[in-house]
């Protein structure tokens, strides 16, 4: 494989990764924290992550990893 074709392949792969978007029913840990804050509940990032992971383990939520605004993040959605 030539350098040019390798770079073209990397560019195509990067474009595919960038097209991954958060679906309407998905939310991030930061979204969860903001939602709780609007209800007057202060929750730390650690506590939010723990609670969401408990819900994933109990099969109430599904999680997946996506590239969002150039940062790999976990997004959660109802099971």
Structure-token match 């994933």, residue found:
56
Q: Categorise residue 37: left if φ over 0, alpha if ψ from -120 to 50, beta otherwise.
A: alpha
Domains and CATH numbers, the chain: 21-78 (1.10.10.10)
Average pLDDT, the chain: 88
Name the strand (E) or helix (H) holding 16: helix 3-18
> Tens of pLDDT along 22-60?
889 999 999 999 999 999 999 999 999 999 999 999 999
> Do residues 29 and 45 lie in contact, with contact meaning Cβ atoms separated by under 8 Å?
yes
Of 21, 43, 23, the C-alpha closest to 52 is: 43
* Threshold 0.75, pTM exceeds: no
């Amino acid at each position: 494989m030539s350098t040019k074709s390798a770079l073209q392949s990397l560019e195509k792969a990067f474009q595919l990764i960038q097209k991954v978007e958060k679906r309407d029913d998905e939310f991030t840990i930061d979204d969860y924290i903001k939602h709780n804050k609007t209800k007057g509940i202060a929750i730390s990032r650690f506590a939010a992550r723990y609670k969401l992971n408990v819900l994933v383990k109990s099969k109430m939520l599904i999680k997946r990893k996506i590239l969002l605004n150039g940062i790999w993040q976990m997004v959660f959605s109802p099971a």
